[in-house]
Homo-oligomer: A and B are copies of this chain.
Amino acid sequence: MNVADLGLPVAVPSTALFTDQYELTMVQAALRSGTADRRSVFEVFTRRLPEGRRYGVVAGTGRLLDAVENFRFDATILDFLTERGILDETTRAWLADYRFRGDIWGYPEGEVYFPGSPILRVEGTFAEAVLLETVILSILNHDSAVAAAASRMSVAAGERPLIEMGARRTHELAAVAASRAAYVGGFHTTSDLAAGFRYNIPTAGTSAHSFTLLHDNERDAFTAQVDSLGAGTTLLVDTYDVTEAVRTAVEVAGPGLGAVRIDSGDLLLLAHRVRQQLDELGATDTRIVVTSDLDEYAIASLAAAPVDAYGVGTQLVTGSGHPTCSMVYKLVARADSNGDGAPLRPVAKKSMGGKASHGGRKWAARRPDADGVAEAEVIGTGPVPAELADRQLMVPLVRGGEVVAREPLDAARERHIAARAGLPMSAMQLSRGEAVLPTEYV
């Protein structure tokens, strides 16, 4: 098996099985009916943002490019599909030769999006493009959901650092992708060593309650930790009595103690009390880290408290109430016959129950107002108006099957900060509301 680097902490061969069975049966039927080579355009978009959210955040693009590059069917996979009776011989032979040779355009990673935004466009033959549907949606739906939650938390946290610590609350490999997406959305560090290994994200973490309980008393535990990690470490002070723990912590580590962590109780009250106590003990530079079931609202409610960093777990990796996006992958245009020269015809499912689609191959641009603040997401199928030509959002990601848009993760993180800064101020409100930009179809 060819071994690929798929954004995992480990090498994994091929992404081709991360696929719904119907993609293969469609390829087989299309090969048989002679339509498999019709030039086709698929687009990824959402019909709506999660309820109350002001904007979405594109994340996972880098992982998606790896997945497309490594989407190959080797003998092990083909034998499985054949044994299951899913493939005929013609399809098997076609899949054995498969690699994606088409083009992909999309919103770059970290960019914001709105209902209808053509987040990704995949162009190729029907058969080569339809196959990628499941894995592309898996990656974008998961990673973008986490990044959107991260972005809101980073708005709430302002300049204070955010630590991602949700690995234990989600699938062990989803956790690695979640750390990555959180970093794109504005987090600073992660507890997840696999994410540190794979994406070079700074890692953090010192001790849990079990470490204090292991020792005969809190002083022994703090002494053991300071001996091992130095006075700059973070001591967890809520195993027994917080006030006593803080006193012991400063006695053991000295006023140069790096930080104390509070993981339970009334964080607002405790933060004030602990800050005062630390200051009285001369530990004026000792920071306070809080980490108890936080979400963006809890973070915001601590804005006036003397808190220096937030650790966020469950609510981050579960998208703060919205663990997935509703991105879909739809055929929007296709040729009437095979071959590169055939003209494209817009297609769309008939609307029923709100599942409407806009047919046609689209461009997208973000129109600024006179002050340079974004005022509309403009989406069209015809020529791009001259005044929007340099405001276009889609960039080439894959050309003729070759990935052309690899970038360091920090580029996506910085892009997100810039994109968010270009939105109207109301984008930063945590309260429920409509998408902060209207979508205009031209």
Contact A214 B168 (CB under 8 A): no
A412 beta carbon closer than 8 Å to chain B: no
Q: Given A22-B206, A208-B22, A214-B38, are A17 and B28 also a contact pair (CB < 8 Å)? A: no
- In the complex, A193→B172 CA distance in Å? 20
Collect the chain B residues with CB atoms within 8 Å of residue A77's CB.
197
A220 beta carbon closer than 8 Å to chain B: yes
Interface string of A1-40 (1 = CB under 8 A from B): 1000000111111110111111111101110110100101
Interface string of A159-197 (1 = CB under 8 A from B): 000000101111111111100000000000001111011
Contact A86 B22 (CB under 8 A): no
* Complex interface: stretch among A96-104, A323-331, A388-396: A323-331
Contact A239 B349 (CB under 8 A): yes
- In the complex, A229→B22 CA distance in Å? 11
Contact A171 B168 (CB under 8 A): no
Closest Cβ–Cβ distance, residue A7 to chain B (whole Å): 10
- In the complex, A143→B220 CA distance in Å? 38
* Complex interface: stretch among A132-140, A281-289, A378-386, A427-435: A132-140
Closest Cβ–Cβ distance, residue A271 to chain B (whole Å): 14
Closest Cβ–Cβ distance, residue A294 to chain B (whole Å): 13
Contact B167 A134 (CB under 8 A): yes
Closest to A63 in B: B172
Contact B205 A138 (CB under 8 A): no
A238 beta carbon closer than 8 Å to chain B: yes
Collect the chain B residues with CB atoms within 8 Å of residue A227's CB.
29, 32-33
Interface string of A137-148 (1 = CB under 8 A from B): 111011100000
Collect the chain B residues with CB atoms within 8 Å of residue A355's CB.
263-264
Contact A225 B29 (CB under 8 A): yes
Interface residue ranges of A253-271 to B (CB < 8 Å): 263-266
Contact A203 B331 (CB under 8 A): no
- In the complex, A167→B35 CA distance in Å? 26
Contact B22 A191 (CB under 8 A): yes
- In the complex, A238→B174 CA distance in Å? 33
Contact A13 B15 (CB under 8 A): no
Shortest Cβ-Cβ A-B pairs, 5 listed = A33-B224, A21-B205, A22-B205, A171-B174, A137-B168
